Structure formats: C-alpha cells, structure tokens
Amino acid sequence: MNLEQIGLLRCPRCRGALEGAGAPLEGVSCSCCGKEYRIERRALRLAGSAGDYTESFGRQWNRYDVARPAEDAAVFRVKTGVSALALAGQRVLDAGCGGGRYARLAAESGAHVIGIDLSRAVDKAAELCAPYPQALIVQADLLNLPVAQGAFDLVYSIGVLHHTPAPRVAFAQIARCVKPGGRLSVWLYRKNTPPQEWINSALRHLAGRLPPRVLENLCAGLAVLGGVPVLNKTLNKIVNFSNHPDWTLRVCDNFDWYAPPFQSHHTVDELKSWFHEEGFADIEELAPEKSGSVYDWAHHHNLIIGGGVNVTGARR
C-alpha cells in the first residue's frame, strides 16, 4: 500500500484528504474531520457493511477462483479498448473490481491501480493484488466515490454500474475521476427483446427469494446445461445460463446473473448519451469479443442475454 495512492483518496464523509497512520500502515484518517478508517486483510475499508445489497458478490468472488490471466488480458483489451501492456506507469481506476482479476492484470503491467468495490470481494482482490505494491484495493461505494477529481489516466468499469440502484449517478461519479485527455471505458448489460426481458425479470424475481445455498445448487444445474452442445447456444436465448468452457466460470457466471438484487439493462444510445452529458469526446462503441455471422446478427438484434453495451471515450 503506498502513500501516493492514499493521496488520491478522499474522506467519504467530508471529502477531506486522507493521511496514513502507523508504520507499517494500519489505517488512514481524515485530515479534515478526523474520522479513522481501518486497513483489514490488505484492503482499505472506507465503506461496506454486512447484509448490504452487494452481499452475493462478496460470496461469489471469495468462493470461486475465476482469474484466468490469458483470458482476462483478452477480455480487458476488448472491454476497455486498451491493452493492459500499455498501462505501465499510468494511474488507473478499476470501478467495481470484484475479486480483482482486471486490477491484478493492470498492476502486473505496471499500472498504479486503485481497485474499488463495495462488497467483501475486496478480500479476494487484495489477496490477488498482494504481489503488486502499486495496487491499492479499497472497499468503497461508487455512489459516493471517495477519490480525487480528474486524477486518473484510465477509468474502467466492467459489468458493475447495472448492479447499483442508480447506474447514471454511479456513471457521473466515475466520469469525474478521469483527467482531461484521459479515457473512460464502461461495459453494461444490453437490453434484450421484450419477451426475453419479461422472462428474465420473472426468473430473477423467483431466484431472489431463494437462500444462496439453494441458488448455488441451481446455478450448478444450469452449468450442466451450459456444457450441452446445441442447447447451450439456443436455450440460453430464453433462459440465461453461461456456456463458458470452464465449469467454475459457468457456475460463477450463473450465480452472478441470478443472485444480485439490482440488474438493469441498457442501450448503446443511452450509454453514449451519458458520455456526451459528462463532457466526453471521441465516443466509440467497442465490439464484443465474440464474432461470426450468426453471433453478430444475434448481437445486433439484442438477442444475446448477458451481452453487453460497451462504450469508451476521452475526457475533454
């Protein structure tokens, strides 16, 4: 944990600057209101409480080991529009870092990365990033983002804002952290056709009433379906389940879909308009990682459940 990065953080209560205390660092305190914040299991805790709406994420990211370095590097390039290798020495904010697979990648490439997440997924992220002293993992709320304005060369948020109760507010919060000339890349769930949306809302409503252990077993059942050829490319256009080749990722993806209380779906025009409204230029839609004539057709007709809208832009 380094003090330079602590200098980019702000007190979530009064926006005062934070100062490190103790050697080795045991916590930080606000130079303005005096509030103290602890460092626990290598993550700085500025927010988060047991039982909040991100509980399921704490469970899934600590339970499933999903870091796959080669795949993570490819996904990162597609979803941010930037190769991690180009980030050496840059200030990077991972807004909603989950278990830290992309923060780890950025740090490994030499970026000075701050990974923020509201859930106890930060425990896993801090463990994954432990070998990289230039990575700082912080448990904090994107809806009250405790970081300095205009401080980052790159801010990215992969699959996060649609899980907050106020995605547009969270977008504005992360957008203001980008420095002039810096880049913001955001990936959100895509709005599907109305019948798909209705079926999904009904299924998620039912899933949300199940105890997590029961839901996990159902997600494992869906992961079995995800390995069945033909079915795993057709049936999942009606009922969503992952067809990732890796079993652990399939179960985790399924839980990630059905467990969280908030899940909103968006259009490309909507996300682009947010970039415009926050003063970004060079706004560009990023293409998905998969391609092929059938896939492209299904993507453009909004038929892929769990597909994304992915936009990047540069701050004026």
Given the rule CB under 6 A, which residues bind ligand SAM? 54, 57, 61, 96-98, 101, 116-119, 121, 141-143, 158-160, 163-164, 256
- Of 208, 187, 158, the residue nearest 266 (C-alpha): 187
Report in angstroms how near the CB of residue 177 gets to ligand SAM at its nearest: 13
**Measured from the CB of residue 88, what is the shortest distance to ligand SAM in angstroms?**
21
Q: What's the closest the beta carbon of residue 196 comes to ligand SAM, in angstroms?
A: 19
Q: How far is the CB of 24 from ligand SAM (least distance, A)?
A: 26
Residue number, 143 or 225, with CB nearest to ligand SAM: 143
If the CB atoms of residues 71 and 270 are measured against ligand SAM, the closer one turns out to be 71
CB of 125 to ligand SAM, least distance (A): 9
Residue 89 — φ and ψ, nearest 5°? Answer: 80, -5
Which of 9, 37, 1 has the alpha carbon at shortest distance from 145?
9
**Measured distance CA(18)–CA(6) in Å, rounded:** 7
Nearer to ligand SAM, 108 or 141 (CB): 141
Toward ligand SAM, which CB reaches closer, 257 or 280? Answer: 257
Q: How far is the CB of 77 from ligand SAM (least distance, A)?
A: 14
Looking at beta carbons, which residue is closest to ligand SAM?
98
Give the nearer residue to ligand SAM in terms of CB position, either 164 or 302: 164
- Closer by beta carbon to ligand SAM, 24 or else 119: 119
Q: How far is the CB of 7 from ligand SAM (least distance, A)?
A: 21
Contact 177, 148 (CB under 8 A): yes
Compare residues 117 and 123 and give the one whose CB is closer to ligand SAM.
Answer: 117
Q: Which is nearer to ligand SAM, 34 or 261 (CB)?
A: 261
Q: Token digits for 139?
A: 């448990």
Q: How far is the CB of 16 from ligand SAM (least distance, A)?
A: 20
Q: Of 97, 39, 93, 95, which is closest to residue 66 (Cα–Cα)? A: 97
